[in-house]
Structure 1
């Protein structure tokens, strides 16, 4: 349990801009293969401030769309737009690259293109619209719980995508960080499913929980299959894109199930 808590702290440091005491990194080799098992719980902690603000704003009868956008703004600040960057780079690479080598070269370029810009607009727009719909249809802190649940689920999806594919580039950042083994992947999924169930079931019930889990799983599978077809492996960008796409999928599903 102590090692798992240390992995949570290291995962928070990797996935966000939240300061973490250096004592958690004593003797740490920088590899993320084992740390990835804590991604879902770390994702919940990172999203906690945004979820709290979302719930408070809804309780104060602020317009749900404005509350959703403010919550997403805070969440983006907390993560440093880490996953959004992966989404935009992946969209540019898969959209503009005619072959694998060209796609990887585009993804390495720090400049954003048309596909990446459209992906970011759609990501924020769809998540804000879904959160606003959830905010209109549920109690304020039930809506906040939905945001936390999707944060945990989408981080679990990241780990599965990472595990299911080999590195696309042997000298890439994702390859140097290590690759989750089966035990780390399974624990990440168990924690993600457990947290999502605890957060969604009491407020929205089984009719929302089951479709949310199924759609998120389908989105993870489809993204991973597409990346396998085009790139033959994962990169740091595709891992981040998986998180974004699965968060969008889960939030939109919950919004439609209310």
Structure 2
């Protein structure tokens, strides 16, 4: 999710029914907002305002669930058809990139360039908005993708069930990191862009509750594999969110707040941490 994503989702045409938006948005509005901004799934955003952003960012894990399920299917099929774990992992990782137009990876690269520039916040933000990728961004992309592929391949080597579950949990946790980054108290780094549209929209208590719920559900999903796997799944979600939180705080100190690029970087860091923790079992 980057600021450039806003160009793909301009404000909807004026509609009498939407002329005076209510203080709350419906679940449907939130789901459409989440899928319309975080995926390429056909979802026409019906409202583009703060209430819709609030509900939409709380629905972000649902978009992650859809992406994760779509990614797990080809990975499992390749493994069952005789493909190796690395091939299954590589294809499973390619699907989320395709379903997000690579915007999270682009955000990771831009954030790495901004953090590595050692320039004042305004100059760093200007570097992040440029279309090219600098050396810090290239290195960040290579390292993260290599780690993700190696970790997921190790998990697939233990069985297709664990590989599929890890793929889904990583995708959900990546979007959950965006929910937490949209909580109240986290400012936007600049007035424009999609980052500013969703910044500080989600009540902090609700964001934390969603994080705890996701950890519990991940553990329950792994119970058929065994209690140790269930504990590891829950721990992977929590540790991934802690890693994303550390990056979030660094970016807020460095840039003065969040941007769409920062959201993309948070998603990739959360997904990577999830896979690494699950690969250690």
Is this a same-fold pair by TM over 0.5? yes
Matches within 5 A, 1:229-244: 229-244=253-268
Query: What is the deviation of 1:202?
Result: 3.3
Query: SS of 2:59's equivalent?
Result: helix
Any idea what the Cα deviations from partners look like across 1:131-189, whole Å, max 9, x if unmatched?
Answer: 1000011x213311111011111211112123252011123432134532216524642
Matches within 5 A, 1:46-85: 46-85=67-106
Question: Does 2:191 match 1:167?
Answer: no
Question: Does 2:36 match 1:13?
Answer: yes
Alpha carbons of structure 1 residues 200 and 70: separation in structure 2 relative to 1, 3 Å: same
Asked if the contact 1:152/1:195 (under 8 Å) is kept, the reply is no
Query: TM-score, with normalisation over the residues of structure 1?
Result: 0.88
Query: SS of 2:41's equivalent?
Result: coil
Query: What is the deviation of 1:244?
Result: 0.3
Asked if the contact 2:215/2:234 (under 8 Å) is kept, the reply is no
Query: TM-score, with normalisation over the residues of structure 2?
Result: 0.82
| Residue of structure 1 in register with 2:162 after alignment | 142
Between structures 1 and 2, the one with greater helix share: 1
Query: What is the deviation of 1:197?
Result: 2.6
Alpha-carbon distance between aligned partners in 1 of 2:252 and 2:74, rounded to the nearest angstrom: 38
Asked if the contact 2:218/2:230 (under 8 Å) is kept, the reply is no
| Residue of structure 1 in register with 2:16 after alignment | none
Alpha carbons of structure 1 residues 38 and 190: separation in structure 2 relative to 1, 3 Å: farther
RMSD across aligned C-alpha pairs, in angstroms?
2.1
Alpha-carbon distance between aligned partners in 1 of 2:235 and 2:160, rounded to the nearest angstrom: 22
Query: SS of 1:34's equivalent?
Result: helix
Matches within 5 A, 1:179-198: 179-182=200-203, 185-186=207-208, 188-198=210-220
Asked if the contact 1:201/1:209 (under 8 Å) is kept, the reply is no
Alpha carbons of structure 1 residues 219 and 230: separation in structure 2 relative to 1, 3 Å: same
Alpha-carbon distance between aligned partners in 1 of 2:266 and 2:80, rounded to the nearest angstrom: 32
Alpha-carbon distance between aligned partners in 2 of 1:200 and 1:122, rounded to the nearest angstrom: 28
Asked if the contact 1:88/1:112 (under 8 Å) is kept, the reply is yes
Alpha-carbon distance between aligned partners in 1 of 2:233 and 2:87, rounded to the nearest angstrom: 26
Alpha-carbon distance between aligned partners in 2 of 1:179 and 1:240, rounded to the nearest angstrom: 17
Query: SS of 2:26's equivalent?
Result: helix
**What is the number of residues matched between the two proteins?**
251
Question: Does 2:48 match 1:29?
Answer: yes
Any idea what the Cα deviations from partners look like across 1:82-117, whole Å, max 9, x if unmatched?
Answer: 211110100000011322122111111111011111
| Residue of structure 2 in register with 1:121 after alignment | 142
Asked if the contact 2:182/2:202 (under 8 Å) is kept, the reply is no
Query: SS of 2:82's equivalent?
Result: coil
Question: Does 2:123 match 1:102?
Answer: yes
Query: SS of 2:182's equivalent?
Result: helix
| Residue of structure 2 in register with 1:202 after alignment | 224
Q: Hey, which bits of structure 1, 4+ residues long, moved more than 4 A?
A: none
| Residue of structure 1 in register with 2:7 after alignment | none
Which segments of 5 or more consecutive residues in structure 2 lack a partner in the other structure? 1-24
Query: What is the deviation of 1:248?
Result: 0.3
